[in-house]
Amino acid sequence: MELRQLAVVVAVAEEGGFTAAAQRLRTVQSTVSTVVRALERDLGTPLFHRTTHRVVLTPAGEAFVPAARAALEAAERARAAVSPVTGRVRLGVCPGLLADLHRTLAALRHAHPGLAVEVRQVRCAPTESTVDLVMTSATGEIAGSGSSADLVTTLLAAEELVLATAPGGARSAPADLSALSLVDFPSGWAIRDAVDRAFPHRLVALEVDDLAVAAGLVRAGLAACVLPASVAARFPELTVRRFDRPPPWQLAAVYRADSGPAVAAVLAQLGSNPKRSGRV
């Protein structure tokens, strides 16, 4: 199975016919028909019902086309990851989301010296219209990759929220945090939004806008703090307490469906090592 075959099948499905697909692909109708027949022969099942006036997907075709689209998009991201790309991308980042952003930008500059990236701080809202790509977070809404209207959401990393406390003590976290004094971050921060959804009734005794300051308050025994596991790991002097039912922490990218190679290159770099420590 070749990417060209997948592209031809997707074109036929989207254009509703072999002739229209041939025009879109800048080839002839007989070539499109030959490619589709060869793929159907390899798969052992027809992908289209052919009639005199129209072409309709079979049940097998209905299942095949979304997977083919996903494969073509993945191939484009892989190509963008190694091919020099030029242009400019406006990257929106929610406050407190990417502590190692400098490493990501350095890697992008090394891989694509002709690509300029403008970083803007935005609220964690995927409808941000002044940027090309938004890095955001969610606790449960994003289960994988999907699309809505003209926006595409891609999950880049998934881990769990943990409770960071002063050194020593138990390794399990209570299900109810209402009795704890907590340090948290300002509204609009990625971590704050995630923790708000997971623990809406907790008591926020302290609010700071710096991870290191929050860790210092926890270390001094003044408060506890709910953090993504990879963030808590940056402060090994703290005790990390896991919840019996760990709330999820997810890092996602939201971008327009018609985004070009420049956005694909940034997306490929952001997702190249989603589990590295320091990603917030």
Three-class DSSP category at 124:
coil
Same fold, 3-82 and 84-280: no
* Residue where the block lists tokens 């997977």: 67
Query: pLDDT (tens digit, 9 = 90+) per residue, 38-64?
Result: 999 999 999 998 877 778 899 999 999
CATH class, domain 84-280, is: alpha beta
User: pLDDT band for position 73 (50/70/90)?
Assistant: confident
In angstroms, the CA 151 to CA 258 distance is: 9
pLDDT of res. 168: 83
Q: In terms of Cα–Cα distance, which of 167, 159, 172 is closest to 215? A: 167
Which of 204, 155, 157, 167 is CA-nearest to residue 182? 204
Q: Which residue has the higher pLDDT, 272 or 192?
A: 192
Q: Is the pLDDT assigned to residue 138 strictly greater than 80?
A: no
The predicted structure's pLDDT at residue 80: 67
Give the lowest-confidence range in 130-139, 176-185, 206-215, 257-266: 130-139
Q: CA 203 to CA 217: how far, in whole Å?
A: 16
Q: What fold does the segment set 3-82 form as a domain?
A: Arc Repressor Mutant, subunit A (1.10.10)
Is the predicted pLDDT of residue 142 greater than 60, yes or no? no
Neighbours of 59 (CB within 10 A): 11
| pLDDT recorded at residue 124 | 61
CB–CB of 98/211 below 8 Å?
no
pTM greater than 0.95 (yes/no) = no
pLDDT single digits (tens) 94-134: 877 766 677 788 888 888 888 899 988 887 655 556 888 88
Domain boundaries, the chain: 3-82, 84-280
Using one digit for the tens of pLDDT, what is the confidence trace for 153-169? 888 778 899 999 998 87
Q: Please report the DSSP string for 193-230 in residue order.
A: HHHHHH-TT--EEEE-S-HHHHHHHHHTTS-BEEEEHH
| Structure confidence at residue 139 as a pLDDT band (50, 70, 90) | very low
